[in-house]
Structure 1
Amino acid sequence: MNHVLGIYSYCAKSHTGVGTTMKRGEAQTYYYVTRTDVDEFILQPLNQYDIPSGVIIKLSKKDFLTSYSPEPGYYEKKSFPALKSLEAKISKGEQFYEDGSLDESEKEFAKALIMDPENTRANLGMGSVLSAKGNRKKLENILEILINKDDTFMNEQRQQFNTFAISLRKQSLYDHALRFYTKAIELNSDDENLYFNLSRVHYDMGNNGMALQHIEKALEIQPDMEWAQKFKSYIEKRMQNA
C-alpha cells in the first residue's frame, strides 16, 4: 500500500530571447505524491480542480528529493476537499445505478467527469449507464478513453473493470469486451479469471477454438478452477456436436 506524502511542486525555469532581451520565467506544477514501501515515489499532476489526474510519473528517492518541494497545507486545504467532492459524486452515481435510476446516475457521473475527465471509476460508471440505456454512440467515446488508459487495468480497478466487461458481453458488445479483456491480459497475464471471461466472449461469438484455448490457459494458471473445468467440458462437447 502506498503512503500519501501530500502535494509537492516542481518549478521549471525557462529563458526567452538573447542578450539584453533575455527574459527568465518560472512555471510551477503541483503533484500528488505517494511513496511505496521500496522508496519509489509516484507522482500525478493536479488538474484545474486540484485533483490528481493525467500521466503518472515514477521516480527514485534521489531524483524526487532533488527536484520537488513540499507544499504544506495544500493537500488538506485544496486537494482533499476536492477529492471528497469527487468521491461523493461517483458514489451517488453508483448508488443511483444500483437503484435503477439511470438518468440521475448519468447526471452524477457527468458532474464527476467535469472534475476529472480521466477518472477511471467515473468513466466505468458512465459507461455502464450508457450501455444500460442503449446509447451506443456516447458509449463508444467512453470505451476509447478506457481502453487507452493503462491505469484502467491496475489491480485496484480490476474488479470494477471485470464487472463492466461482463456487462458488455451480456449486451452482445463482443468486440468491445474482447478489446477490454485483451488489454487487461497484457497488463495482468497471470489472472485466470481474465482468461475465463475472455473464453466466455469467444464462446458467445461462436469461436469455439479460441474459447477452448483461453479456458485452457485459465486452467494452466489455476488447475483447481472448478467452473473453468466444467466450461472446458461444455466447449469440447459443443465442438464434437458441431
Structure 2
Amino acid sequence: MASAENVSGREKIQGVFSSQSVQKIGTGTTVRRTISKMYWMVRELDDGSVEVQALNKSYVPAGPKSAVDMEEFLSKYSPEPEFYVSTVYPKIKELGSSIERGEKARQAGATYSAEFEFQNALDVDEENVKANFGLGLTYMERGENTKANDIFERLVNLDAAFQTEHKHLFNEFGINLRKSGMQDQAIEYYQRALQMSSQDENLHYNIARAYFEKGMLEKCADHLTKALSLNKDHVEAQKFFDFVKKQLQGQ
C-alpha cells in the first residue's frame, strides 16, 4: 500500500492488521477457550491516533471507523501485509471495478446491466455508499419507486452517505427522489443531511423545493429564509422566495 510520512519523518502506519480475542465457551469443567481473529483496515491519523475499520466477511473494509490511541494499537494489532496482497487488495479492486462498470452502464441507459453490477458490488459490501446510490438511481430511472424506497431506507441510515466525498451522488439522489414524486422521502433525506451539515444553504433550498411540491408553502418559505441567511447571494433561492411570498400573500 502507499505510505506517507508523518511529522517525525517515519512512514505513517497503514494497511491491513489483525487482532485476536480469547473467548470462553461453556461453564465449569467443560469450559474451553477459543481464539477469534479479526482483520482491520488501518490508517494512522495526523493526531497520532490510529483509525481502524473492520473487514467484512468478503474481506473488504466496511461499517463504522473508530480511532484507537497508538499505545493500544501497538499492543493489540499485528500487521498482515501478505493477507492484504493476496486477499484484500484483489477484493477491493473487484468491488471498485463492479461499481465503475455499473456507473458506466447507468449513464449509458443500460439499467439492467447497471443493476447487475451494483448488486454484485453490494454482495461484497452491502453498505457501500456508491453502489447503493447507483442502484437507487437505477431503480428511479426505471420508475421502480418501491425498490428505490428500499435503497433510500438503507442510505438514510448511513452516515457515510452524507459525507463530502459522496456529494455529487448524494445531490443527484436527492433531486431524483423529488422528481420521482417521492417528496416525503426527499424531505426525510434532506433533513437527515441537515443533521450532518446544517450550514449548507443548498440543502435548505432543496428541501424547500420538496415542501413546495407538497403544497406546504410556509415550510418552503422557512427553508428559503434559512438558505438566504446563509448565503444572501443565492439567486435561485431569492427568486423562489419572492415567488412563494406572493403565493402566500394571495392565500
Amino acid at match of 2:148: L
Q: Paired residue for 1:60?
A: 69
Q: Paired residue for 1:84?
A: 93
> Offset of 1:17 from its aligned partner?
4.0
Change in CA separation of 1:63 and 1:224 when aligned onto 2, cut-off 3 Å: farther
- Residue by residue, what CA displacement relative to the aligned partner does 1:171-223 show, whole Å, maximum 9, x if unpaired? 11101111110101001112111111111111111111111111111122222
Q: Given the alignment, which residue of 153, 170, 174 partners 2:162?
A: 153
Q: Paired residue for 2:37?
A: 28
Whether 2:109 is the aligned partner of 1:100: answer yes
CA RMSD of aligned residues (A): 1.9
> Offset of 1:50 from its aligned partner?
1.2
Change in CA separation of 1:213 and 1:56 when aligned onto 2, cut-off 3 Å: same
Q: Paired residue for 1:165?
A: 174
Whether 2:45 is the aligned partner of 1:15: answer no
Change in CA separation of 1:226 and 1:71 when aligned onto 2, cut-off 3 Å: same
Give the gaps of 5 or more residues in structure 1.
Answer: none
Secondary structure of the residue that 1:134 maps to in structure 2? coil
Secondary structure of the residue that 2:81 maps to in structure 1? coil
- Residue by residue, what CA displacement relative to the aligned partner does 1:14-66 show, whole Å, maximum 9, x if unpaired? 12345654322210000111232223322211112211112322223333233
**Quick one: distance in 2 between partners of 1:41 and 1:199?**
40
Whether 2:50 is the aligned partner of 1:41: answer yes
- Residue by residue, what CA displacement relative to the aligned partner does 1:118-154 show, whole Å, maximum 9, x if unpaired? 1111011100111111222322221111111111112
**TM-score relative to the length of structure 2:** 0.89
Whether 2:66 is the aligned partner of 1:50: answer no
Give the gaps of 5 or more residues in structure 2.
Answer: 5-11
Question: How many equivalent pairs are there?
Answer: 241
Amino acid at match of 1:72: P
Query: What percent of counterpart residues are identical?
Result: 34
Query: 80-89 or 131-140: which moved more?
Result: 131-140
Amino acid at match of 1:81: P
Q: Paired residue for 2:190?
A: 181
Whether 2:240 is the aligned partner of 1:203: answer no
**TM-score relative to the length of structure 1:** 0.92
Counterpart contact for 2:145–2:180, Cα < 8 Å = no
**Quick one: distance in 1 between partners of 2:168 and 2:184?**
20
Whether 2:133 is the aligned partner of 1:124: answer yes
Q: Paired residue for 2:7?
A: none
Query: 98-107 or 34-43: which moved more?
Result: 34-43
